[in-house]
Amino acid sequence: MATLESKIPQGPIGDKWTNHKNNINLVNPANKRNIDVIVVGTGLAGGSAAATLAELGYNVKTFCYQDSPRRAHSIAAQGGINAAKNYQGDGDSTYRLFYDTVKGGDYRAREANVYRLAEVSANIIDQCVAQGVPFAREYGGLLDNRSFGGVLVSRTFYAKGQTGQQLLLGAYAAMNRQINRGKIESFNRHEMLDIVVVDGKARGIIARNMVTGEIERHAAHAVVIASGGYGNVFFLSTNAMGSNVTASWKIHKKGAYFANPCFTQIHPTCIPVSGDHQSKLTLMSESLRNDGRIWVPKKKEDAIAIREGRLKPTELAEEDRDYYLERRYPSFGNLVPRDVASRAAKERCDAGFGVNATGEAVFLDFESAIMRYGREQAAIHGNHNPSDAEVRKLGEEVVENKYGNLFQMYEKIVDENPYKTPMKIYPAVHYTMGGIWVDYNLMTSIEGCYAIGEANFSDHGANRLGASALMQGLADGYFVLPYTIGDYLSQDIRTGKISTETPEFEEAEKNVQGQIDALINNNGSNSVDHYHKKLGKIMWNKCGMARNEQGLKEAIKEIKELREDFYKNVRVTGSADSKNAELEKAMRVADFLELGELFAKDALHRNESCGGHFREEYQTEEGEALRDDENFKYVAAWEYKGEPSDAVLHKEDLEYKNIELKTRSYK
Amino acid sequence: MNLTLKIWRQKDANTQGKIVDYPISEVSPDMSFLEMLDVLNEQLISKGEEPVEFDHDCREGICGTCSLQINGEPHGPDRGVTTCQLHMRMFKDGDTIFIEPFRANAFPVIKDLIVDRSSFDRIQQAGGFISVNTSGNTIDANSIPVNKHDADKSFDAATCIGCGACVAACKNASAMLFTSAKVSQFALLPQGQVEATDRVMNMVRQMDLEGFGNCTNTGACEIECPKGISLENIARMNREYLKASTK
Amino acid sequence: MSGILNSSIARKVAMALSAIFLLIFLLQHFLINFTSVISENLFNELSHFMGTNILIQAVMQPVLIFAVVFHFVMGFILEAKNKSARKIKYVSYNGGANSSWMSRNMIYSGLVILAFLVLHFIDFWIPEMNYKYIQFNPEDPTRYYGELVHKFESPLRVGAYVVSFALLSLHLLHGFQSSFQSVGCNGKYTPALKAFGKYFAILIPLGFIFIALFHHFNH
C-alpha cells in the first residue's frame, strides 16, 4: 500500500506555515492575468477563495447550482465562528484552539493543518470586520464572544443566530466587487458534472446549465472544489435540499482519494422528525445548550405517559427527571461535544425514555435559565421580593433577547411555545468531517485540483467542534489556498490558454451526455425520491449514530442492490434541455448511491470508535468510545477502482508531536 | 385536509403560462407548504406528468431561495416566515390556494414558479461591498469600536435574505427595501463611510436600470418581509442619496 | 428636468417636496377660510391681502400653480411607470393584507382632487383673474365674504365639495407621512409625526367641510 505524501513542511509546528509561505513560488502579477482558475461552489470556502484569487489577479470562474452565490448552505450556520483572539482574556491562545480542535476531533486530524487553522483564525475576524460584517458587540462597542461545546473559553464570535449568513454575505460582497471589475465570471444555476484531466493535471470541468440544459465545457489551469459535505446521503439531514456529493464524487472517480467517509457529525439539537412527509431537518443552534438543560423522565412509565399525552412535561417533579448529561459528564454538563451529546440522547431513547410520539426525542428545558435570569434582572431593577410571575416575565425577556429568533422558528415548525413547555430535540445528520483527501497545500491526489472547506477532510478529525466549520471554510478560502495554489500555478505561466477542443473534453462531455440520456430514457416506475429515501433509511439505521459489523455488512449489500434497482427502475420525467429538478436530483442520487456504499465500507474497516464514528463492538463499560490508536491512528484515503467495493485503501499515518494522545474525557 | 391548488404552469421563459387546477388530499397540518408540494409532485410523477418546478433549498428560512405568491401574498398568509417555513396548519380543509411566481418585469419567469432574480445580484455588484483586499494585515477587529446601537441596526439591515418578497408584494414592483437594506448596513458602520457616495449612487442607478418600479411608501414590503426589514432603511437610503447627490 | 429626475429616488423626493409645499398651502388656505366662520371683517381683510399683495400674486401664485401641475403630472408619470413595472399581473392579489387602501389608490383620490381643482379654477380662479386683471374692476375690499357665502348656496356644489374633501382626507392619510418618509425622515420621531399626520389628514378636510356646511345652512 502506498503512503500518501502529505507535504507537511519541516520545522517546529509554530513556524511551519510562515516558513512554507516564505519558501513557495509566487506568480508575477503580469502572469496572473493569463491564468484561469475554476471554483466550484460559492459558500464560505469557495466564495472567499474566488474573491481572493480574483483580487490577486487570476481570472476566476465560479459555479454554483443555486440562483445566486449568496444562497450556498454556509448561510444556514447559526451559532458562530471561533477565533483565537483572546479578547475575553480567559487564557485563549493559538495553541489552545489547536489543542481543543485536535482533541475535539478525537485525534484523527492532521496536526499541521489544524495548527495553521488556529494561526490564521484571528485574521479572519479582522478581515470580516473590515468588510463590514456586523458581528455582535458589547455596549463598549467592542466585539462580543460566547462559549460553545467542548471548550472552556469564550472564543466564538457571532451575529445573533445567523453568523453563517453574515459571513457568507461578506464573502459574496467581496466576490461582487470582483465580478464588477470583471475578474470573476459567475455561473449560477450551473452544476459541475465532471472534471477534465489532461496529462494528469486538472484542466477544466463539464457543467450543465440548469436553465437551458446545455452541457458546457470550461477550461482552466486549476480547479478548486468547494462544494461542501455529503450529509444528504442520509436523505434527512440539516443540509440544504440541493447539497450534494456530485462534484466531490466526480473528482474521486477521476483519481482524487476520498478520505474517512464514515466520519459524519450527528448534531444533538435538531427538531425531531414529525412524519413520513418530512423533507429535511431543522437545526436549533448549539448555543441553546448554554442555557437549556437536557433531560428525559427517570421512570419509564412517566416517559410513556408523556408520549401518550397523558402527562405534561411541566408537571413532572424535579426529582423524577434525569438530566443525563449533567449526571454523566459533571464537568462539561450540557456543553459536551456534539458526538457525545448525540450518543447520550440516542442511548436514553433506545432505552425507552424518548418523549415524543415516535419515542425519538428528549427535552431541552429553559425553565431554570428563565427563573435564574429573571431573579438576576429583578435584583438589578431593585425588586428584592419579586413574585414568581414577575421573575418569569423578566427571565423570558432575557431568553427572548438571546434566542428569540430560534424560539420563534421552533414555534412555527412545531406549534408549541418553548417558553412555556420544554423543546423537544433529537440528533440529526449535520456535517461531514470526511471528504476529499488533500495534502498540506489543499491539493487533492489529482494535480492542479484542490478541495477546500467541508469538501475536504483535513481539519476536524472524527468530530468537529461547534463554530469551527465557518472558521475552516474562511481560513481555506481567504488565507491558505490563495498562497498554496500560487506555488502550483507558477509552473503554468507559459502554458497559455487551455483549449476545450481536446479529446479529453470531448470524452468527458460525451460521458455526461450519456448519463443524462440514460436517465431520461429509463422510463422506470419509481421516482428519484423513492430511492433517496430508501438509501437514507439504510444509512440512518445501519451507518448512523451507532454502527456494528453486521449492520454495516448488510448496508453494503442493500445499497448495492438499491443502486442496481435505481438504474433499472428509476423514472425521470421531463426533458434534458430545460429546467428539470427530477433530472438534477437523479444525477445527485446516483452519486450518493455509490458514496453510501464506500461510507459503509470505511465504517466497517475502522474497528474502533472515535468521534462521530461509534462502533458498538468498541466501547468502554460506561458506553464511552474506545479508540484504537495502535491500529487506526491514520487517515483512510480510498482510491476509486470502479465499484465502491473495489476501492483501494491508502493510509496516511497521523503523527502527534505537539499533543499527547489521550483518551478524550469530558467528565 | 383536502385542498384545491391553482398553480401557475409555464413551460419556459418564452411560452405563455396559465393557471392549472390540482386537487390534493390527505394533507397533514404539520407539513410545510413545500412538503405539500412535494406530495403533489410525487403524485404527478407517478402519473407520468411533469412535476411543478419551484425554487427551494435550505428549507429553514435563511437561504432566500424559496419564493411563491400564495393567495396573493409573497410567502403566504403567515408573517415573519418564508414559504419553506409556512405550515399547512395556516389553511383550512376545503381551501382553494392560488400559487403563482413572484411577478415583476425584473424577475422574469424561468419555468412554472421559478423566477430569475439575478437583477438583485447585479444591484449588489454595482456597489454592495467595502473595497478591502484579503491580506491578513487588516487592522485589528477591535481597533474601531462601533456603537452597539448602530451595530445592531446594521445587523438588522443585513438580515435581508434577498428573497424578493418586497418586490413581489409591492404594487409597483419596487426593489427599494432590498437595495436600502444593503446601503443601510454599510452606511451605519464606520468602515462603510469611505465609499458611501459612490455606493448609493451606483446601486440606485443599477436598481433603476433593472426595471423595478418606484417606491410609493405603501409599506407592503415591510409587512411581507420574512426578516422584518424596516422602512427606516428606505428613508435612510433616501437621505444617503440626497447627501450623495449634493457632493 | 429630465436630467435630475432620471433616478427613481430623485423623482420620489421631488414628488414629496411638492407635496409638503401643498400641505403648507392647504393649511394656510384652511386658516384663512376658517376666519369666515368667526369674523366677516377678518376674512375680508385677509382675502384682500392675499388677492392684492404683489408677492403673493406675482411670486407665490405661480409657484403654487407650478407645484400643483408638477405634483399631478409627476403623479401620472410615476403611476404609468409603476404599472408597467409588472407587465404580467397576478391572478390573485391580496393587497389589503399588507397595505392600506389609501396607499394603493393615491392615483384615484388624486384624480378626484384634480377634478375638484378644475372646478375650483373655473369657479373661483378664472372669474377672479377676469375680475382683477382683464376687466380691471376697482378693488372692493369687502366683496370676498359675500362671494364666499354665495358659492355655498347650491347644495350640488356643497355636495361635490364634501366628496372631494373626503377623498383629500384619504389622500393625506397616506400622503402626509409618505412625503416625510420620502425625504428621509424616519426615526424615533416617526410615531409622533405619524400621529400628527393622521390628525392633519382628518381635521383639515373636515374643517373645510365644516366651513362649507356652516355657510350653506346659516344663510
Instruction: Read off the pTM.
Output: 0.96
Nearest to C181 among B213, B217, B223 (CB): B217
CATH of A502-630, one of 2.60.40.10, 2.40.10.220, 3.40.50.300, 1.20.58.100: 1.20.58.100
CA distance B220 to chain A (A): 22
Beta bridge partners of A362: A425
Q: Which of A338, A348, A606, A615 is catalytic?
A: A338
CB under 8 Å, gap of 24 or more: what pairs does B45-50 form? B45/A527, B45/A571, B45/A573, B45/A582, B46/A527, B48/A571, B48/A573, B49/A573, B50/A573, B50/A574
Q: What are the residues whose beta carbons fall under 8 Å from the beta carbon of B133, sequence distance 6 or more?
A: A55
For residue B80, pLDDT over 90 is answered with yes
For residue C61, the tally of other CB atoms under 10 A from its CB is 15
* CATH superfamily membership of B3-110: Beta-grasp domain (3.10.20.30)
* Interchain contact A358–B (C-beta under 8 A): no
| The CATH number of the domain covering residues in B117-131+144-245 | 1.10.1060.10
pLDDT band of residue A401 (cuts 50, 70, 90) is confident
The per-residue pLDDT for A622 is 87
Q: Which positions in chain B touch A180 (Cβ < 8 Å)?
A: 125-127
CB contact under 8 A, B64 and A70: yes
Check: CB of residue B65 under 8 Å from CB of residue B56. yes
pLDDT digits (tens, 9 = 90+) for A199-213: 999 999 999 999 999
- Residue in A closest to B143 by C-alpha: A142
Angle between the N-to-C axes of helices A581-605 and A528-543, in degrees from 0 to 180, rounded to the nearest 10: 20
| Contact residues, A window 437-496, toward B, CB-based 8 Å cutoff | 478-479, 482
Q: Which ipTM did the prediction report? A: 0.98
Of the candidates A120, A127, A413, the beta carbon closest to that of B138 is on: A127
Contact indicator for B55, B114 with CB cutoff of 8 Å: yes
Instruction: Work out the average pLDDT over A599-609.
Output: 98
Q: Which fold has domain A268-429?
A: Flavocytochrome C3; Chain A, domain 1 (3.90.700)
Q: pLDDT grade, residue B193 (50/70/90)?
A: very high
In this predicted structure, the answer to whether residue C4 has a pLDDT above a threshold of 70 is no
Angle subtended by helix axes A111-130 and A16-23, to nearest 10: 80
Rounded mean pLDDT of chain C?
A: 93
Question: pLDDT tens-digit profile of A334-373?
Answer: 989 899 999 999 999 999 999 999 999 999 999 999 999 9
* Total beta-carbon pairs less than 8 A apart between chain A and chain B: 218
Tell me the CA distances in angstroms from A359 to A317, B47, B202, C80, C143, one per residue in order: 21, 36, 56, 60, 91
Which residues numbered 71-90 in A keep a CB inside 8 Å of some CB on B? 71, 73, 75-76, 85, 87
Give the nearest partner residue to A67 out of B53, B65, B148, using CB atoms. Answer: B65
Whether C191 and chain B come into contact, CB under 8 Å, resolves to: no
Contact B214 C186 (CB under 8 A): no
- The sign of the dihedral angle between the CA atoms of B226, B230, B236, B238 is positive
Q: What is the mean pLDDT of residues C154-161?
A: 93
Contact B39 A573 (CB under 8 A): no
Instruction: Determine the residue of chain B that is closest to A474 in CA distance.
Output: B134
Annotated domain spans of chain A: 268-429, 502-630
Within chain B, all domains assigned CATH 3.10.20.30 are found at 3-110
Instruction: Identify which of B230, B184, B176, B234 has the alpha carbon closest to the alpha carbon of residue C185.
Output: B234
Query: Residue A222 pLDDT more than 80?
Result: yes
Binary contact (A279, B59; C-beta < 8 A):
yes
Q: Least CA distance to C99: which residue of chain B?
A: B220
Of A66, A76, A579, the CB nearest to B110: A579
Q: What is the pLDDT of residue A392?
A: 95
Band the pLDDT of A251: cuts 50, 70, 90: very high
Identity of the residue in B98, B103, B207 whose CB atom sits nearest the CB atom of C86: B103
Domain with CATH 1.10.1060.10 in chain B: 117-131+144-245
Q: Which of A210-224, A422-436, C148-162 has the lowest mean pLDDT?
A: C148-162
The three-point CA angle A551-A564-A454 to 5° equals 65
Q: Which residue type, as a one-letter code, is found at position A414?
A: V
**DSSP secondary structure string for all residues of C134-178:** IS-PPP-TTHHHHHHHHHTT-HHHHHHHHHHHHHHHHHHHHHHHH
Residue A96 designated active-site: no
Q: What is the pLDDT of residue C1?
A: 40
Q: Is B35 on the interface with C (CB under 8 A)?
A: no
Contacts of A298 (CB under 8 A, 6+ apart): A319, A320, A321, A322
Least confident of A271-285, B56-70, C79-93: A271-285
Closest residue by Cα to residue A6 from A637, A471, A453: A637
Q: Does A401 touch chain B (CB under 8 A)?
A: no
Paired residues of B92 in beta bridges: none
C17 at interface of B, judged by CB pairs closer than 8 A: no
